[in-house]
Amino acid sequence: MGSGTITTKDGVEIFYKDWGSGQPIVFSHGWPLTADDWDAQMLFFLSHGYRVIAHDRRGHGRSTQTPDGNDMDHYAADLAALTEALDLRNAVHVGHSTGGGEVVHYVARHGMERTAKIALLSAVPPIMVKTKDNPGGLPIEVFDGFRTQLAANRAQFYLDIASGPFYGYNRPGAKPSEGIINNWWRQGMMGGTKAHYDCIKAFSETDFVDDLKKITQPALVLHGDDDQVVPYQDAAVLSAKLLKNATLKIYPGFPHGMPTTHADVINADLLAFIKG
């Protein structure tokens, strides 16, 4: 207990934190962050008697800065390796943003028997990029722009995201927190630039429609209607329709990073869902 690493079949070390006892809640973070992005949730659910686990995705944070395998198939397999190594059963899987994609891909492919419930927060499924089957998606040029900016000056790009759209700090009347901005930047810069570059394709172009259709467990789908990173109409609304047993909640005015900026509200709603 505490923290540790597991080694995957392809030799990647995955860092994780594992605190407490009781029903396990497993947290999957967003791009390009780390398990630390769940601090507000980890402390809250630990204090409510749950076992809380969060890992750094491959290429992110304290996990191996791997130059390859930065795709949803590997992310899901890594999460499966972690849940098996820790022998987690009756687990609740909570995913934010890219982590929401990781959760549905993991559960549909590997985790049906070990998983009790899932929660998707500001999550990327069903698919972010605009295609003929997903006319409401964002044009590929948006993601190409991310790649260009990351390759040119990752440090500045990350500062711009954290101080702007991620937390809604670019909105009139917003009160930016220097600590939150610095912590986002710190987490981002811990990871590998190649992994982060490749992950843009993973979170934007992976199609999760079939995964969502397979999942029968109760699902909570939460999204802010002022999410400037993952627009809610093409994400949460569609995911909730594809899931067999979903509850959808849209928060007026909440940003993409709402688990941090509105932790009190999100934690209370997650707790009610997990207990329910």
Q: Which amino acid is at 248?
A: L
Q: Is 87 a catalytic residue?
A: no
Question: What number of helices (H) and strands (E) belong to the chain?
Answer: 10, 8
Per annotation, catalytic residue among 28, 36, 93, 97: 97
pTM of the model: 0.98
pLDDT of residue 145: 97
Per annotation, catalytic residue among 227, 234, 239, 269: 227
Residue among 38, 41, 54 at smallest CA distance from 3: 54
Q: Is 256 a catalytic residue?
A: yes
Per annotation, catalytic residue among 60, 96, 256, 262: 256
Q: Is 97 a catalytic residue?
A: yes
Concatenate the DSSP letters of all residues of 231-257 into one string. Answer: -GGGTHHHHHHHSSSEEEEEETT--TT
pLDDT tens, residue order, the chain (276 aa): 699 999 999 999 999 999 999 999 999 999 999 999 999 999 999 999 999 999 999 999 999 999 999 999 999 999 999 999 999 999 999 999 999 999 999 999 999 999 999 999 999 999 999 999 999 999 999 999 999 999 999 999 999 999 999 999 999 999 999 999 999 999 999 999 999 999 999 999 999 999 999 999 999 999 999 999 999 999 999 999 999 999 999 999 999 999 999 999 999 999 999 999
How far, in Å, CA of 120 to CA of 43, rounded? 19
How far, in Å, CA of 173 to CA of 37, rounded? 24
How far, in Å, CA of 100 to CA of 73, rounded? 14
How far, in Å, CA of 91 to CA of 88, rounded? 6
DSSP-assigned letter for residue 23: S
pLDDT of residue 269: 98
Domain residue limits, the chain: 2-275
Radius of gyration of the chain (CA): 17
Cβ–Cβ under 8 Å, residues 51 and 89: no
- At residue 207's C-alpha, the angle toward residues 201 and 211, to 5°, is 130
The token duo for 66 is: 């791997």
CATH of 2-275, one of 3.40.1080.10, 3.40.50.1820, 2.60.40.10, 3.40.140.10: 3.40.50.1820
pLDDT of residue 68: 93
